[in-house]
A and B are shown apart, each in its own frame.
Chain A
Amino acid sequence: MRLSTKHATLLLLLAILALAPLLFPSSFYYRVFALIFVNALAVTGLVILLGFAGQVSLGHAGFAGIGAYASALAPVHLGLPPILALLFGAALSALVAFLIGRPILRLKGYTLAVATLGFGILVSMVLRNEAWLTGGPDGISVPALGLKDGLKDLGIKLKTAELWYWVSGIVLVLGAWLALNLQHSPSGRALRALHDSEVAAKTLGVDVAFFKLKAFVVSAIYASLSGSLLALMNGFVTPEVAGFLHSIELVTMAVLGGAGSVVGGFFGSVLLTALPQALTFFQEYKHLLLGLIMMLVMIFMTEGLVPSLQRRLLGRRA
């Protein structure tokens, strides 16, 4: 039975979501996987921007920061319930992405990279400096979603780590489903066309600027939701969530696994999230190893791990 890419990817994710807990020796693993799913959500957005549309962004953590702090501040200052705060953050990120997207996306290559980098740094700077609002570098606590208690009322008792495993996993599957739909839709084809050659796409009547902006805004929403979930999961947020290092981690996760596909992005998230946990006996060498991995994978498997391994295991291009 031949499955389409879309169905195979979704089935894979659902299988992992449902079956992985059977292998967990302790609830710590729920936490690790919840982190993987939350990262993968942001990375899926980046796959849309980077992989489908071919636009570099080194500042996407800025949107994650907007989402995270919206979850922290909106309930307190605007009186929104946490669920609405999450959506508010996403809307705010979409708005910001829309406003800066048009001028920024006129740039290409390194100039686009540095412009998005500048955006990310400015967001994280505002979050660090405006301590009266954001709590500054020491961070601020995030009002709980209230899901745990809500479920207890329904008779389902879950530990915090378990709860977030399921929440982030389900959100990821939904996000992946939407991204895959986009990939196989006319919009997705337009993005692929302009990725290949903007000039050619334009001559074919594709509104390049519009689609680039659409990819940028959509990926910003993914990053924002990821940030919000992370903030809720941790109950606490600091400006690092919008920092340069986080942006680089997200891009690396996307590219390592293979930026062109949702499953590649997921695999990259698994690698970069689980590896530091597996290598704790190498803690002193953490940075060294991360840098080494980044270099080696990109030199020897330029397309990313998933496509290269696929080719090796199957002997043909997927």
Chain B
Amino acid sequence: MAELLQFLLSGVTVGAIYALVALGFTLIYNASEVVNFAQGEFVMIGGMTTAFLYAAGLPVWLAALLAILAAVLVGIALNKLAVEPARGAPVLALIIITIGASIFLSGTAEIVFDKQFHRFPAFSGDSPIAIGGATILPQSLWVLGGAMAIFAALYLFFTRTLLGRAVLATANNRMAAKLVGINTGFVMTFSFALSAAIGALAGVLVTPITFTSYDVGVGLALKGFAGAMLGGMGSPPGALIGGLAIGLAEALTAGYISSDYKDAAAFIVILAVLFFMPQGLFGAKQVERV
């Protein structure tokens, strides 16, 4: 029992990060119908910038704030310089553009930062907390709490604020949103900025546990993407459930089946879902108009 609990705690911690990355995918997809393969790089920017600023002497909270700001700027630049100019391009071109952006960003990080691994201190220490025979790090609670808070805040944002509802409207029907006076260009830029901020925050929360380096982006993007597809691309609750599910599947596979094929769990789940439920768990059924 304690063993199972340990696996679950591990899976949920890692899954929370995947969920945040998946959320980033979802936000951008909703605003612009683009799957942003560079999503993982925001997490990397958040973690690496904080680590470097902290090493340069700033307190962690200030370093984190600046790191999130840096990620937001990168997100806006990505939208303005790479995605908007390519509006209307075929899906494949957009895939190449965002993968190219991912490679570009990690290549730049390699030079601006360095090739080593980094971390900074956990927010409330490293002493593990015992829960029913299993242990969890305090920082994991920050990660879980942070993820919950972000999802809750987003829910409120989408349902209670005008800007949030404008974003939802744009996602639903771009043309109609324009017709009622919503500045859809701004909505798109805002979605990228928000997505980047969430990714960077995820990076800040998780780096004390998992460390960071210039190339962590790709792996996170793949897993986060898998989570978003599992939950249904375009559905924020889907992103949460999908990300957590991937994390849990990984931990349980490592624990009970084979640690060698732990990563395969995510992709096998994805393939199964795609074959039997292509719209994902919570996605809308796609209707192709002739």
Q: Which of A109, A115, A288, A295 contacts B91 (CB 8 A)?
A: A109
The stretch of B7-15, B98-106, B158-166, B243-251 in contact with A is B98-106
A109–B90 alpha-carbon span in the complex (Å): 10
A252–B97 alpha-carbon span in the complex (Å): 10
Contact B233 A110 (CB under 8 A): yes
Residues of A in contact, count (CB < 8 Å): 44
Interface of A is mostly: helix
Contact A121 B100 (CB under 8 A): no
Give a binary string over A95-118; 1 marks a CB under 8 Å from any B CB, 0 the rest: 000000001101101110111011
Given contacts A288-B107, A290-B107, contact A114 B225 (CB under 8 A): yes
List residues of chain A with CB within 8 A of the CB of B261. 125, 129
List residues of chain A with CB within 8 A of the CB of B268. 118, 122
Contact B264 A122 (CB under 8 A): yes
The stretch of A6-14, A17-25, A162-170, A279-287 in contact with B is A279-287
List residues of chain B with CB within 8 A of the CB of A290. 100, 103-104, 107
* Residue A293, interface by CB 8 Å: yes
Given contacts A109-B91, A291-B105, A298-B96, contact A121 B263 (CB under 8 A): yes
Q: Which of B86, B90, B91, B101 contacts A291 (CB 8 A)?
A: B101
Given contacts A129-B261, A294-B103, contact A111 B274 (CB under 8 A): yes
* Residue A302, interface by CB 8 Å: yes
* Residue B56, interface by CB 8 Å: no
Query: Smallest distance from the beta carbon of B246 to chain A beta carbons, Å?
Result: 12
Contact A252 B96 (CB under 8 A): yes
Q: Which of A118, A259, A292, A294 contacts B270 (CB 8 A)?
A: A118
Which residues of A are in contact with B by a Cβ distance under 8 Å?
Answer: 50, 56, 58, 103-104, 106-107, 109-111, 113-115, 117-119, 121-122, 125, 129, 199, 244, 248, 251-252, 255-256, 259, 284-295, 298-300, 302
Q: List 22 A-B contacts (CB under 8 A).
A: A103-B275, A110-B35, A110-B91, A114-B225, A114-B270, A115-B274, A117-B267, A118-B267, A129-B260, A244-B222, A251-B95, A259-B92, A284-B110, A284-B111, A287-B110, A289-B107, A291-B101, A291-B107, A293-B100, A294-B96, A295-B101, A298-B96
Using A199-B290, A287-B106, A295-B100 as known contacts, list a sample of 19 further A-B pairs with CB atoms less than 8 Å apart, ordered by residue number in A: A50-B92, A56-B91, A56-B95, A103-B275, A117-B222, A121-B222, A122-B268, A252-B96, A252-B99, A287-B110, A288-B108, A291-B100, A291-B104, A292-B104, A294-B104, A298-B96, A299-B86, A300-B85, A302-B89
